[in-house]
Amino acid sequence: MMLDVKRLYDTRFTSFERIRKNRLWKILCQDFLQQYVKKKDTVLDIGAGNCEFINNISCGKKIALDVNRDLAKIADRGISVKIAPVKNLKKLFLPNTLDIIFMSNFLEHMDSKEDVFRLLLEAHQILKKGGRLLIMQPDINLVGGEYWDFFDHKVPLTFLSLSEVLHSLGFRIHDYRYPFLPYTTKAKYLPLWPPLLTIYLKLKPLQKIFGKQFFLCAQK
């Protein structure tokens, strides 16, 4: 029997938590992520989920990719929706056609490190020269045993291990934040209340205290 991801996520987040999560993403896009995305860029959001990133980022063309059958109802008007697994990006996108690929809290859900490697390889192939891969990811070294508290986490990853594989595939680490955000928006950390997130994003000492995830920008 296949894991019912939608049912799992519907159970994981309350209605209030989903509203707060979207408010946090709006701030995160405006105050941090937008600096890596140009107004004319074609942006692919892999594992778009509830479309918190792709709905809130400003760019030329937006593409949301997920297995969620309700994706078209969640994505804002004008977003190109692709309901499909990520196991063969080359069948979905032509080589050298995308400016930005974004993934947040996605790679740990894949079945194996081999699948992670294959996805990153194909991401490199479909990005334009100079294109950027933006990844936000929990680091098992920072999170510890809580990494496995989410039932669908399968692959342990760290900032260094992910950086290593990206270098091997021909990416250059253009920028990074390590550590960066707290582990999960479910936690009631003060930095994850919308009025305080803007301040948190500017203060790296706070990120060293609360950060359990990292962010990296890798360039082809």
Tell whether the torsion through CA atoms of 27, 10, 140 and 161 is positive or negative: negative
Quick check: 86 pLDDT over 50?
yes
pLDDT of residue 15: 47
CATH superfamily ID and name for 5-219: Vaccinia Virus protein VP39 (3.40.50.150)
Q: Where are the beta strands (DSSP E) in the chain?
A: 42-46, 61-66, 80-83, 98-104, 127-138, 172-177, 213-219
Phi, then psi, of 174 in degrees rounded to 5: -85, -35
Q: If pLDDT is split at 50, 70 and 90, which confidence band does 184 have?
A: confident
Q: If pLDDT is split at 50, 70 and 90, which confidence band does 1 have?
A: very low
Position with higher pLDDT, 6 vs 114: 114
Quick check: 3 pLDDT over 60?
no
Which helix or strand (DSSP H or E) is residue 136 part of? strand 127-138
Position with higher pLDDT, 149 vs 19: 149
Using one digit for the tens of pLDDT, what is the confidence trace for 44-64?
Answer: 999 999 999 999 999 999 999
Quick check: 17 pLDDT over 60?
no
Query: From CA 60, how far away is CA 62, in angstroms rounded?
Result: 7
Mean pLDDT of 178-184: 92
Q: If pLDDT is split at 50, 70 and 90, which confidence band does 178 have?
A: very high
Portion of the chain with pLDDT greater than 90, in percent: 78
Give the residue extent of every domain in the chain: 5-219
Position with higher pLDDT, 18 vs 46: 46
Mean pLDDT of 55-75: 95
Quick check: 2 pLDDT over 50?
no
pLDDT of residue 5: 55
Mean pLDDT of 88-96: 94
pLDDT of residue 158: 98
Query: From CA 140, how far away is CA 2, in angstroms rounded?
Result: 25
Quick check: 16 pLDDT over 50?
no
Portion of the chain with pLDDT greater than 70, in percent: 87
Mean pLDDT of 93-112: 97
